[in-house]
Amino acid sequence: MSQMQSVEKQLREMILGLEIGPGEKLTERWIESRFGASRTPVRAALLRLETEGLVGRDGRGWTVSPINLAELEQIAVYREAVEVAALRLTCALADRSGVDVIEAMLESCDSNTPREEWHRVGMDFHIELARLSGNEFLFRAVRDAMTRLSRARWLEVRDEAALARAWAEHRAILAAIRLGDADDAARRLSAHIVGSRDRLVTSLANDRRGLRARGFAVVAA
């Protein structure tokens, strides 16, 4: 693996893992020394992460993208369009056995599962569901959207009941796909995305003070 890929991967993990907080300033020299690579691959990695929306330019200089509540709302609309389209394609397929793999993924989570794993599976559910459609663009759109949502979802305050509810909704969507009932599946998926968005934005807006106290930039627009 090239240095560029290595830096990109590690830096993305640090950002998504909130080891570098939303809104934090980054300098190429710091990254350089942190990962032991020279500025050339560091700059290449930053350029790529910029297109993912994880870092941005702050005049001259780099900034880890803040959590943006307005952006979260817009992403949800975007996701809904793209995920529903992918879902309908999948429902039209003859072979929908891929849902079994996704179902198994869901089942692998129980009360002993660490939160990181719940978080990952909760995103992968949507990503893998989009992949089943076979449409590369729909898949990438969902994957990139979930990446952008990742940090916000991690910061969301969720009780066990909320998780159980999300999982139940996930299962209901899969069941509808199995039956080939595209309209029902689409309706459930839309409702799931809209509901998740509302809870997410509400939670972050309520916690805004606390999050800022932890050094995390949470902006309204």
Partner DNA sequence: GATACCATTTTGGGATACCAAGATGGTATC
Partner DNA sequence: GATACCATCTTGGTATCCCAAAATGGTATC
Positions in the binding site for DNA (CB under 7 A): 2-4, 26-30, 37-41, 43-44, 59-62
Nearer Cβ to a copy of itself (67/75) = 75
Q: Does the protein bind a copy of itself through residue 43 (CB under 8 A)?
A: yes
Report if residue 182 touches a copy of itself, rule: CB under 8 A.
no
CA-based angle 195:220:165, to the nearest 5?
A: 20
**Interaction pattern, residues 86-105, with a copy of itself; x per rule: CB under 8 A:** ---x----------------
Q: How far is the CB of 219 from DNA (least distance, A)?
A: 19
**What is the C-alpha separation between 160 and 220, in angstroms, rounded?**
27
From residue 5, how far is each of 13, 32, 40, 92, 119 by CA, in Å? 12, 14, 12, 37, 24
Could you tell me the smallest distance in angstroms from the CB atom of residue 195 to a copy of itself?
18
Q: Which of 30, 44, 152, 132 is nearest to 89 (CA)?
A: 132
Least Å distance, CB 74 to a copy of itself, is 5
The footprint of a copy of itself on residues 66-85 (CB under 8 A) is 71, 74-75, 77-78, 80-82, 84-85
First to last CA, the chain: 37
Q: 44 by DSSP, 3-state: which?
A: helix
CB of 64 or CB of 166, closer to DNA:
64
Total residues at the site for a copy of itself (CB under 8 A)?
23
Q: Which long-range contacts link 208-213 to residues 24+ away (Cβ below 8 Å)?
A: 211/67, 211/155
138 binds a copy of itself (CB under 8 A): yes
The tokens describing 76, both together, are 């949800």
Tokens of 194: 């809209």
Find where tokens 């949502």 sit. Answer: 149
Residues that bind a copy of itself (CB under 8 A): 40, 43-44, 47-48, 51, 71, 74-75, 77-78, 80-82, 84-85, 89, 135-138, 141, 145
